[in-house]
Structure 1
Amino acid sequence: MAPAPPGRMAVFRKGTVEIFKRRWPRWFFIVIILQAIICMVFEAYTFALFQRGLRNVDDEKFRDDSDVQSQLKTIPTFLGLFILGFIYEVILVWDALIAKNTIQIIGVCIANLALLVYGGLQISQIHDAIDILKQKNVFWNVNVWSETEAELIAIPVIIGVITLCIGFLAWKLYQEFAWDILKQIGADYRMKKRFLHYQVYIALLKFDFFFFVGFTIQFLVVVGGRSVVEFGLTAAAIPVTIAILLCAAWSTRREWKAGMWIVGILYLGGLTYFIYKLARIYTPSQKQYYKPVQKSLTAFAALTIVLIILTIINALVCLFNFNHGLKQHLLKSPRQEMDKDQASYSMHDVKQPQLPSRMTID
């Protein structure tokens, strides 16, 4: 009786072990984890100094001041988004290294640049928040900015250095994974090109999710919505977005044309939503509510708009690639790949039996 094929968890476990067995994947993963730990420690330290320097913010004069309350949420929002960003980046790297997805690895390098920009915006926005709160006499520690400035500046510097490092490592990974992709897809140039378009599309969906959620968190926490209806609709958009992105990935993998057209219409709706939000941030009657996170919201909205446009373009390219044989490669079970790899290893490990030597007596 043949043994049962390995489960999906076994495939992921094997892929994770291979990350640490191979030189360049191991270093890429370690560098990303170190960046996440160091930057989150600096961010948490800044948050602790900020909170420790505050007076009793439950005092009635502070509690009823909407400007004070919105500025008080600035640092917690940045802290939460950085934690989300670094953890999500570690997950993306882990997933990309297991799948040997060089496009996603390159996407992580670009996302790191976005975190670098976000870290730079954080410095000016927190400085403005501290100045406003000091004018409102919210701080008992008037030196809070001088105590936190060095850590805030260090975060984008660290991200910049790490971005250079992972850029070099991504190039090494591209060279290393080229042979693995060739084994999966074959030498057909057109098929490799279709597979590349598919990888780009799936990577874009993953980054769409992060930037959409990042924008929504900032909006809900700091701005809060100007009405209960607006708040509820914005919060409900998160699970709806997850469902849309999952449907988009499934439709592409299964080459379901109707699903792709439905998702495409929803993309246009999302694009309209973010253009509207970006315009609303700078509407004279509304921009005062967005002031605490105006720069970061603008950056997230602009990046999300660009990502949605790129996603729509790649969705159309993937749609035109349907019914050309890529589906068979994509639906190939990872268990089969694992069995094939194990068989390949076993063929190399089996030594040819040696013929027994005989002594002859003449």
Structure 2
Amino acid sequence: MVTILLQGFVVLAMVASVFTFVEEDVNLDLAQYKTVPCYLALFILAEIFELLMAFDALRLRNVIQLVGILAFHVGLIVFASIQIHETKAALVGNGQDKTWHKVLPFLIVSPCILGASLLALMWWIRALYFEFGWAIFHVVGANPQMKTMYQFYQIMICLLKFDFFCFIGVTSQLLIVVLQKNSAEFGLTIAAIPVVLFLLAGAGVAVQREIKWLMSVSLALMLAAETYFYKLVRFYEPSSREQYQTTRATLTVFTIVAFLLLFATFAVGLRCFADFDKGLQSSKTHDITRRRKKVYSSAPVSHKLGADDDAEAVQYDAGGRLQPRISIE
């Protein structure tokens, strides 16, 4: 958490400096320069998202989500590198060479800081991988089949969270930088926001609660959402390519990643759907943080365990101290 927080402060300071220098020399209300405020907005969103994802992964002891954070961090490095090219296209292409040379050092620092923090995160996550080794065992027990099903459930929830960020990233770039408010495409993009949010939230609830009809609707909407990939053609066809000139590279990367993530979410969703009604629902709906509170204490066991006692009250916890003698009737 501290690593992500510190690198976030440094990177946002660099991006804010770029924004300030550009704002001094050019009019950011012009379409060709809107890539700079969009760049700042996306990085603020990305750093907050990464911090919340790290907190959530640590709270749930979710190793899969920690690995996802590493992949997301690599994506941030790629995004920061692409922004060097896009900022140059916006400034140099419009005769702002002096401003470009002024902001170039700040643009270079961002991917360097992100690369250094990636190495630190890899070290932390490697240590946490061994620390959280017993987490899934506490939730589903020693059954290998149950463990596999629970891992697919964790992957599904993790993918839905990253789908949300990619969707927000693509949509914000289209609305801030590219589309005109009086265009039909602008209205369609606005209308798609509640539909996609319902899709992601509905899929999360359906896979956790094992609601079959809602899961079916969510999977169908995922297939329909794949048609949004046609936007990639719009970025490069002659009739509209000038409209996307300053953000084409970033939008292309975001769109392709969003498409691949949504396709992976659909595939994993089918796998999770096949695991419904196989005894995993109680493990999904009971948060691991609640289960960790039910551990052995150092006080003597003063009662006998009956057949009706809660089975979860007697379980192992990493590092917990076992009683020397337990009477079972």
User: What secondary structure, in the 3-state scheme, does the structure 1 residue paired with 2:133 have?
Assistant: helix
1:99-147 CA-to-partner distances (Å, cap 9, x unmatched) read: 111111100100011111100100011011111232xxxx5xx522222
Match of 1:191 in 2: 146
Which of 257, 274, 277 pairs up with 1:320?
274
Match of 1:280 in 2: 234
* Residues 74/320 of structure 1: CA separation in 2 closer, same or farther (3 Å cut): same
Q: Is the 8 A contact 2:14 2:110 kept in 1?
A: yes
Structure 1: distance between partners of 2:21 and 2:257: 31
User: What secondary structure, in the 3-state scheme, does the structure 1 residue paired with 2:258 have?
Assistant: helix
User: What secondary structure, in the 3-state scheme, does the structure 1 residue paired with 2:55 have?
Assistant: helix
Match of 1:270 in 2: 225
Q: Is the 8 A contact 1:260 1:319 kept in 2?
A: yes
Q: What is the CA-CA distance between 1:243 and the residue it aligns to?
A: 1.6
Q: CA RMSD in A?
A: 2.2
Structure 2: distance between partners of 1:124 and 1:75: 12
Match of 1:23 in 2: none
Match of 2:45 in 1: 84
User: What secondary structure, in the 3-state scheme, does the structure 2 residue paired with 1:178 have?
Assistant: coil
Which of 95, 113, 132 pairs up with 2:56?
95
1:73 and 2:28 aligned: no
Task: State percent identity of aligned pairs.
Answer: 33
1:134-193 CA-to-partner distances (Å, cap 9, x unmatched) read: 2xxxx5xx5222221111011011111211221222121111111122122211111110
Structure 1: distance between partners of 2:181 and 2:22: 27
Q: What is the CA-CA distance between 1:238 and the residue it aligns to?
A: 2.1
Runs of 4+ in 1 over 4 A off after TM superposition: 333-336, 343-352
Structure 1: distance between partners of 2:145 and 2:81: 42
Match of 2:10 in 1: 38
Q: Is the 8 A contact 1:204 1:311 kept in 2?
A: yes
Q: What is the CA-CA distance between 1:227 and the residue it aligns to?
A: 4.8
Structure 2: distance between partners of 1:241 and 1:344: 46
Match of 2:203 in 1: 248
1:174 and 2:129 aligned: yes
Match of 2:194 in 1: 239
Q: Is the 8 A contact 1:248 1:263 kept in 2?
A: yes
Structure 2: distance between partners of 1:338 and 1:238: 37
Q: Is the 8 A contact 1:53 1:144 kept in 2?
A: yes
How many pairs align? 305
TM-score, normalised with respect to structure 1? 0.79
Match of 2:101 in 1: 146
Structure 2: distance between partners of 1:226 and 1:297: 19
User: What secondary structure, in the 3-state scheme, does the structure 2 residue paired with 1:249 have?
Assistant: helix
* Residues 121/256 of structure 1: CA separation in 2 closer, same or farther (3 Å cut): same
1:70-102 CA-to-partner distances (Å, cap 9, x unmatched) read: 112110010100111111110111111101111
Identify which range, 252-261 or 230-239, moves more after superposition.
Answer: 230-239
1:255-285 CA-to-partner distances (Å, cap 9, x unmatched) read: 1121111111100111111x11111111110
- Quick one: which amino acid aligns to residue 284 of structure 1? P
* Residues 315/349 of structure 1: CA separation in 2 closer, same or farther (3 Å cut): closer
- Quick one: which amino acid aligns to residue 191 of structure 2? A
Structure 2: distance between partners of 1:294 and 1:72: 13
Match of 1:291 in 2: 245
Gapped regions of structure 1 (runs ≥ 5): 1-28, 64-68, 353-362
Structure 1: distance between partners of 2:44 and 2:262: 24
Identify which range, 161-170 or 80-89, moves more after superposition.
Answer: 161-170
- Quick one: which amino acid aligns to residue 52 of structure 2? I
Q: What is the CA-CA distance between 1:204 and the residue it aligns to?
A: 0.2
Q: Is the 8 A contact 2:60 2:289 kept in 1?
A: no
Structure 1: distance between partners of 2:101 and 2:230: 38
Structure 1: distance between partners of 2:289 and 2:56: 16
* Residues 323/219 of structure 1: CA separation in 2 closer, same or farther (3 Å cut): same
1:109 and 2:81 aligned: no
Larger Rg: 1
Q: Is the 8 A contact 1:219 1:225 kept in 2?
A: no
Structure 2: distance between partners of 1:242 and 1:306: 18
Structure 2: distance between partners of 1:243 and 1:210: 14
Which of 147, 150, 157 pairs up with 1:202?
157
1:220 and 2:192 aligned: no
Structure 2: distance between partners of 1:130 and 1:222: 15
Q: What is the CA-CA distance between 1:239 and the residue it aligns to?
A: 2.6
* Residues 309/349 of structure 1: CA separation in 2 closer, same or farther (3 Å cut): closer
Structure 2: distance between partners of 1:350 and 1:121: 55
Identify which range, 107-116 or 181-190, moves more after superposition.
Answer: 181-190
